[in-house]
């Protein structure tokens, strides 16, 4: 079993709940957390006793994105060398149902991680956004592709180009989440849904999930490749360095187009 520093894991019969656990950084997804997450999800995926998985954070944040401190100084070559997206592809390939329970911030890579899940139960306090543009980059883990497919071009464009957040009711109306419930029950509602699915034939569930994803993911892979290349390219710009440094120094960024 993977040793957990940035996650917590609970099992309850046929379901497992994985908690992102870097509360002081709003569960920002650093590389070590992503390593643990992928290893843990794959272990659960291969465990015959587990039939559905819930992924959650805490009440303040599901996850506020990839860890900006880890990316701030990287250039395109370094980002390419890190090959972070190989891990995200492994999450995409999980066979068991993955349900996100979201409260607070689901931003940038956090929103993208949520969109890797098969279903989403949101608390009334949840906020969703792709704010990468404010730090001089763009979504890299599928945001431009999955968000567009789910909410439509005009809405995705506004979110991606302004970085503005949307609230839980808006996300529900746009089909980004299955439903919105009070903050006291968002996690138990997600776990209830996981238990319900865990009672079905696991082989039927696996093949049904695969078939839904066949539709959802048609044309997705080319788009993901395209997005990744553009994301890497932005790490050759001064605006990326300025945007991320401004975040770290807690000041507004000044972009020059270089």
Q: Which residues here bind ligand CO8, judged by CB under 6 A? A: 25-26, 28, 64-69, 84, 105, 107-109, 131-132, 135, 140-141
70 labelled catalytic: no
C-alpha neighbours within 13 Å on the C-beta side of residue 146: 23
Our CB check for ligand CO8 shows the closer of 54 and 135 to be 135
Instruction: State which residue, 48 or 249, has the beta carbon closest to ligand CO8.
Output: 249
Report how far residue 161's alpha carbon sits from residue 217's, in angstroms, rounded to the nearest whole number.
Answer: 24
129: phi then psi, degrees, rounded to nearest 5: -170, 160
Is 223 catalytic? The answer is: no
What letter would DSSP give residue 82? H
Q: Could you say which of 57, 64, 100, 132 is catalytic?
A: 132
Least distance from ligand CO8 to the Cβ atom of residue 222, Å: 18
Of 185 and 255, nearer to ligand CO8 (C-beta) is 255
Cα gap 180→223, rounded to integer Å = 29
36 noted as active-site residue: no
Report the nearest approach of ligand CO8 to the CB of residue 194 (Å): 26
Catalytic residue among 28, 52, 61, 66: 66
By beta-carbon proximity to ligand CO8, the closer residue of 164 and 179 is 164
Determine the Cα–Cα distance for residues 55 and 120; give it in Å rounded to an integer: 9
Contact 87, 41 (CB under 8 A): no
* Residue 210 annotated as catalytic: no
CB of 171 to ligand CO8, least distance (A): 16
Give least dist CB 182 to ligand CO8, A.
21
Cα separations (Å) of 84 from 90, 111, 176, 211, 240?
11, 16, 25, 27, 18
Catalytic positions: 66, 109, 112, 132
């Amino acid at each position: 079993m993977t040793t957990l520093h940035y996650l917590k894991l609970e099992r309850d019969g046929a379901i497992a709940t994985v908690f992102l656990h870097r509360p002081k950084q709003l569960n920002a997804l650093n590389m070590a957390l992503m390593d643990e997450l992928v290893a843990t999800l794959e272990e659960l995926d291969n465990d015959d006793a587990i039939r559905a998985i819930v992924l959650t954070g805490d009440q303040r944040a599901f996850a506020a994105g990839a860890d900006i401190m880890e990316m701030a100084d990287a250039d395109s070559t370094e980002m390419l060398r890190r090959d972070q997206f190989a891990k995200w592809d492994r999450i995409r390939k999980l066979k068991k149902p993955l349900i996100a329970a979201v409260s607070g911030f689901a931003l940038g890579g956090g929103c993208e991680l949520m969109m890797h899940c098969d279903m989403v139960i949101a608390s009334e306090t949840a906020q969703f956004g792709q704010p990468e543009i404010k730090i001089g980059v763009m979504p890299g883990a599928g945001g431009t592709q999955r968000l567009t497919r789910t909410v439509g071009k005009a809405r995705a464009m506004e979110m991606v180009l302004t970085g503005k957040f949307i609230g839980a009711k808006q996300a529900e109306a746009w089909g980004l989440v299955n439903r919105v419930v009070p903050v006291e029950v968002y996690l138990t509602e997600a776990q209830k849904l996981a238990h319900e699915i865990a009672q079905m034939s696991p082989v039927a569930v696996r093949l049904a999930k695969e078939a839904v994803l066949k539709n959802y993911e048609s044309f997705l892979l080319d788009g993901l490749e395209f997005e990744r290349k553009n994301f890497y390219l932005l790490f050759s710009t001064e605006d990326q360095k300025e945007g991320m440094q401004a975040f770290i120094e807690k000041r507004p960024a000044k972009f020059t187009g270089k």
